[in-house]
Chains A and B, each alone.
Chain A
C-alpha cells in the first residue's frame, strides 16, 4: 500500500505553492488519465488506460464545488470528484471532444483512424455507451485520428489521422458527409516534401463554418481546408523549420462555453500557435498576411513529441499553456517576451559604411557568409520597430533591402510552471504530462493528466 509523499522536495513544493497557486487540487486515478475534456460548467470527461488489460475507461466526473467558485467559500468543504457515469473501451483513447449542449461525446481510438460517438449517462442509468462508430473512408491503423467539433454549425465534426483521410461526419444522420478527395491526397504527397505519401497531422480545428485548420506533424506546416470545396487546400503556412514533431492550438476571441450554438457566436478563430519539439514556437495571425510569423524560443526541448500539447487560455490571444516536454506544464504570455531581440534582415549585399554610419547610431554586425545583419535590440530605443529599421536602412543606402517580414525568435520565459506532477511523483521514474486543458467556463482553471495516474486541477496566481 502506498507510502506517504512527504519528502523534503514535495514539502517545499507545497509550501511554495501557497503563493504560486490560487487553487491546487491533486487526485489519483486507478490508471493514467490519457485525455480530458470539459463537458459543461460542472463536469468533465476523462479517459484512463490500463496497460495490462489494454482497456480504457471513460469517466464523467462532477467538478468539486471548491474549484467552481472564484470567490473563496470557507464553508464549502467539497473537494472531491464524483463519478456520474462511466464506460469501457477495448483500446486506448487519446482524444475527446464534447458536442455542446448534448449528452454526447466523441472519441478516437489508438489502433485505427475511426471516430466513436458516445452517449453519456442518462437519468435511467450511469453507463456511457458507444452509440456509433464513424469509419474513415480511408482506413488507417498506424495512427489514431484527431477530432474536432464544428462550433459554428450543429451536428458536424471532422476526424482523421493524415491529410489524406480527413473526413467530415454528420452527427445527426450518423454518416460521412465529406472525405478528402483523390486530388487532396495527391496534394498531401506534394506537401510531404520528400515524396513520402503519408503526412500525419497533429490536431484539427474548425476556424469558421467552412474552414478547417490542421498542422502537419513532421513539418509544422499549417494547412487550411475548405469544406465547401471538397476539402481542397485553401491555404498553407509553412514553418520553414525542420523538426520531427509539431502541435498547434487555435485562439478564439471569445470563450466557447456550452450554449455556444444557441448564441451563434463561438468567436472567430484567428490566431494559430505552433510548437515544435525543439521548443520553437510560431504564432500566426490569420487576419493579416498569412505569412506573418512571430517566433519564440521557449528553451524547451524533447526528442519525442507525441505528447506535445499547446492550448490557448480561453478568451486570450497571447497566453498559452505547453506540455509534452517533461513532467511540467508551462504557461507563457507571448506579449512578455524577452527584450533582447535579434533581427535578421535578408539582403543582397552589405556596404561597409552601413556598419559605422547608420544615423540611428546602432551598432550593426554583419555576417558575410550568412548574408544577414544582426542588430542588438538592447541598442534600439523601445519605440523602434523592426519594420521601421528596415525602412530606415533602405532610405540611407543605395542598396535595396528586403525583409522577409520574419520576426526573429524572441526568447520567452514562462510566466508560470506547474511542477506538481513531477514533484509529487512517488516513483523514481520520470512522469510525463499526457494532456492539459483549460476549462472554458472557469477563469484560469487548468486540468492536467500525468502518466503516473495523477489528475491535477489548479489555478495559477499570476500576480
Chain B
C-alpha cells in the first residue's frame, strides 16, 4: 500500500511558523520555511534536525527534492536564507514571481532590524539572502512545472497577499495540495482563492482557519474609517505605517471612497517612496490583482487618487488634521518613524498599525503597550498619541475551509500548526460532511496516510474492438466501470492492456491452449441424428444469448468454442456424448455438463 507522510517541523505546539515536510511517491518536498517571530533564539527556526541528524537521510540537498514557498510573509519565508545558506540546501526553491520579487526586500528589512538594531549574531547576512534568491525558480499560475521526470507542481491563486499561491504536487498517481494562507472572499485589490477540482490524496492547510469564525472585512473597514474620521474630526493627525505593497492599496482605496462619499476635506498623503515601489510592482504583477484593479490600472496610475496626494517631509509640522501613509511598516526606520516621533507626544493624534511588527521595532513596542520609548540619542519619547492595532490580513475561516474542501474534493485533510486544540469535533464534522479523514499532527510528529493511487493504462485497439464486438458495437458509458480481460504489459515505463495472445507474441512465448473433454453416457431412444437434434434444441432454449450452431460434421458448436458430439448405435438407447470446452469457457462447459447429465427427459 503506498502512503504519503507529513511532518510539521518546529519546536513545540505553537503558531507563527510554517514549515511542512511532505514525502510523496518517494519524493521529499518542504512547503514554506517560516520564522517564528516570538523567539529570539534558535527556536525561531524550524527544527531541521529531523532531517540532518538522521544519518540515513543526510544533507538537506540530498534529501529534499525541492522547497516551495507560498508567499512573502516572514512566518512563511523568514527562515529560508538560514535553511539554504546556513544549514545548506542547493536544490530548487519554487515560488511565484511576485513572491520572488518581494521576499528579498522583507528578508533584508528583517535582517537589518535583527542584526543592526538588536545586535544579534547568529543570523543570515545580506549576501546569504542574495545567494538564497539565486536558487529560486519563479513559476506562473496554472503552469505545470516538472521538478524532475516524476515530480510536477502547479501553483494556484490564493488571494491573501500579492503573489500568494496554493501548490498542487503530483508524483505518479499520488498528489497533495498545500494551501499556505488563503482567503475565500475577494477584497478591494485581490481576488479570492481558486483551485481546480483536482481531487488530491491530501489537502494540507492551517488548523486555525477551521476553528475561527472571522468578523467581516466590512466591519473591520468600518472601524478603521471610524477611528480615522473621529481623530481628524477632533483636529488630530493619523499615521498609518505600511509596507509598500498589500494593505496600503486596500486602505487607500477604502479612504478614497469614504472621503468622496462624506465630502471630507482633510488631506490624505502617501509617501513618494511608497508610490514608486507600489506602482512598479503593480505594473509587473497586474495579473495578480482583481478584475476591478486591472480595469482601473489600464486607465490610470495606481496611486492617482482624487483625495490622496504625495507627501512632503515639510508637511510633518503642518497644523491641522491629516492622514499619512508612510513606510516602513514596523516604524523601525525612515519616514514613518520620523513622523511618529513628531506626532507621538500629542494625544489628539493616532497611529494605526495594520499588521504584525517584528520584535525590536518601535511598532512592536507600542503594540505591547510601551508608552515611554528610549531613542538613539538617549532621549525619551512619551507616546501620548492613541495606538491602534487593526489587522487587515485576509484569511479564510471555518466556512471558507469547508468551501475549499467541497471544491477540490481531497481524499484526506490535514490541519497543521495552530494551537494545540482538541480536534474531535472538527474531525467528525469533516467526516460527516465529506466522508474523509482529517488529521492534525503535532510539530515533529509524522503522520502517514495510505493512498490508493489510480494507475492508468493504455488499451490496445484490437482488444477494444473485441470487447465492443461482445456488446454489438454499443459505445461504452465513460463513467461506468467495466470488467475487461486482458494482459497488463509494463514496457518503457508505460502500462498497456492488450490481448493475452498479443502479449504472448510480444514476449515470444508459445501460447498453450487448455481444453477439457468429458464423455457422458446419455439415454435416448432414437437415432444419433435425432439425439443431436434434441440436444441442440435443449441447449438453444437454455442458452438464449449464446450462439448455438450445427456444424457440418453433425456436431454442435456453442459460442464458437464449446463442442458437443454424439456417437453411438442408432439401435441402442445409450449414446456417447462428447463435450469439449476450452479453459476460458469453464463455466459454460460445466453448465452444459450438468445439463446433459440430467438427461434429455428434462423438460426441454
Expressed in whole angstroms, the Cα–Cα distance for A85 and B429 within the complex equals 11
Q: How far is the CA of A53 from the CA of B367 in the complex (A)?
A: 45
- In the bound complex, residues from chain A placing their C-beta under 8 Å from that of B425 are 83, 85-87, 121, 126-128
Stretch at the interface among A21-29, A107-115, A343-351, A385-393: A21-29
Interface pair A29/B389, CB less than 8 Å apart: no
Q: Which residues of B contact A24 (CB under 8 A)?
A: 219, 222
Taking CB atoms, residues of chain A closer than 8 Å to B426 are 83, 86
Within 8 A of A (CB), among B377-419: 386-391, 397-399, 402-403
Bound form: Cα–Cα A64–B215 in Å: 9
B544 interfacial by beta-carbon distance below 8 Å: no
What is the distance, in angstroms, from A261's C-beta to the closest C-beta of chain B?
29
Residue B213 contacts which of A12, A27, A126 (CB distance < 8 angstroms)?
Answer: A27
Residues of A within 8 A of B398 (CB): 29-30, 83
Q: Does residue B47 face the partner (Cβ distance < 8 Å to A)?
A: no
- Distance A258 CA – B222 CA, assembled complex (angstroms): 33
A416: Cβ under 8 A from any B Cβ:
no
Assess whether A26 is in contact with B423, with CB atoms less than 8 Å apart: no
| Given known A-B contacts A30-B398, A79-B219, A57 and B429 have beta carbons under 8 A apart | yes
Q: Are A77 and B389 in contact (CB under 8 A)?
A: yes
Q: Return A222 CB to nearest CB of chain B, in Å.
A: 38
Query: What residues on A are CB-neighbors of B125 within 8 Å?
Result: none
Contacting pair B219 A26 (CB below 8 A): yes
A56 and B356 alpha carbons, distance in the complex (Å): 37
Distance to closest chain A CB from B225 (angstroms): 7
Contacts of B226 in A (CB 8 A): 18
Known: A26-B219, A86-B429, A121-B425. A18 touches B193 (CB 8 A): no
- B214 and A27 contact, CB distance less than 8 A: yes
**Of A53, A75, A80, which is within 8 A of B397 by CB?**
A80
Instruction: Report the separation of the CA atoms of residues A338 and B424 in the bound assembly, to the nearest whole angstrom.
Output: 55
Which A residues are CB-close (under 8 A) to B210?
83
Is B38's CB within 8 Å of the partner chain A? no
Contact of B261 among A15, A27, A64, A79 (CB under 8 A): A15
Given contacts A25-B215, A77-B391, A88-B432, contact A1 B192 (CB under 8 A): yes
- Interface hits, B173-230 → A, CB 8 Å: 184-188, 192-194, 210-216, 218-222, 225-226, 229
B509 at the A interface (CB under 8 A):
no
Q: Separation in Å of the A283 CB from the closest CB of chain B?
A: 34
CB-based contact B185/A15 at 8 Å = no
In the assembled complex, the Cα of A85 lies from the Cα of B427 at a distance in Å of 12
Chain A residue nearest in CB terms to B187 = A4
1/0 per position for B79-100, CB-CB distance to A under 8 A?
0000000000000000000000
A125 in the interface, Cβ–Cβ < 8 Å?
A: yes
CB atoms of A2 and B213 under 8 A apart: no
> Which residue on chain B has the smallest CB distance to residue A14?
B222
A-B contact count (CB 8 A): 124
Q: Is the CB of A126 within 8 A of B422?
A: yes
Contact present for A1 and B403 (CB under 8 Å): yes
Task: Decide yes or no whether A198 CB sits under 8 A from chain B.
Answer: no
The answer to whether B389 and A74 touch across the interface, beta carbons within 8 angstroms, is: yes
Number of interface residues of A (CB under 8 A): 47
- Which of chain B's residues have a CB closer than 8 A to the CB of A57? 429
A3 touches B399 (CB 8 A): no
Q: Which residues of B sit under 8 angstroms from A101, Cβ to Cβ? A: none
Q: Is A61 an interface residue (CB 8 A)?
A: yes
Contact string, B426-447, partner A, CB cutoff 8 A, digits 1/0? 1011001100000000000000
Smallest Cβ-Cβ distance to A88: which chain B residue: B432
Q: A19-50: which residues lie under 8 A (CB-CB) from chain B?
A: 24-30
Is B483 part of the contact surface with A, judged by Cβ < 8 Å?
A: no
Verify A14–B218 contact, CB threshold 8 A.
yes
Residue contact A27 to B429, C-beta cutoff 8 Å? no
Assess whether B369 is interfacial by the CB under 8 Å rule: yes
Distance in Å from the Cβ of B405 to the closest Cβ of chain A? 11
- Chain B residue numbers with a CB within 8 Å of A85 are 422, 425
B215 close to A80 (CB less than 8 A): yes
Given the complex of chains A and B, what is the CA–CA distance between A282 and B403 in angstroms?
45
How many Å lie between the Cα of A88 and that of B427 in the bound state? 12
A75: chain B residues at CB < 8 Å are 367, 369, 387-389
Interface residue B257 (Cβ < 8 Å from any Cβ of A): yes
Does B218 lie within 8 Å of A74, measured CB to CB? no
* Residue numbers in B under 8 Å from A408 (CB-CB): none
- B213–A74 CB distance below 8 A: no
A77 contacts across to B, CB distance below 8 A: 389-391
Chain A, residues 1-16, CB within 8 Å of chain B (1/0): the string is 1111110001110110
Q: How far is the CA of A194 from the CA of B194 in the complex (A)?
A: 60
B187, A18: Cβ atoms under 8 Å? no
Beta-carbon nearest neighbor of A50 in chain B: B433
A82 at the interface (CB under 8 A from B): yes
B213 touches A29 (CB 8 A): yes
Among A17, A26, A76: residue with most chain B CB under 10 A: A26
Q: Which of B188, B212, B215 contacts A26 (CB 8 A)?
A: B215
Given the known interface contacts A4-B185, A126-B425, the answer about A79 and B215 at a Cβ–Cβ threshold of 8 Å is yes
Q: Are A26 and B216 neighbours in the complex by a CB distance under 8 Å? A: yes
CB distance from B110 to the nearest CB of A (A): 21
A414-438 at interface with B (beta carbon < 8 Å): 424
B507 at the interface (CB under 8 A from A): no
**Interface: B375 (CB within 8 A):** no
Apart from A11-B261, A75-B367, A126-B424, what are 12 other A-B pairs with CB-CB below 8 Å?
Answer: A2-B192, A10-B218, A25-B216, A53-B433, A77-B390, A79-B219, A88-B429, A88-B432, A121-B422, A124-B422, A126-B422, A126-B425
**Interface residues in chain B, defined as those with a beta carbon under 8 Å from any beta carbon in chain A:** 184-188, 192-194, 210-216, 218-222, 225-226, 229, 257-258, 261-262, 367, 369, 386-391, 397-399, 402-403, 421-426, 428-429, 432-433
Closest 6 CB pairs of A and B: A126-B422, A86-B425, A79-B215, A81-B213, A74-B388, A26-B216
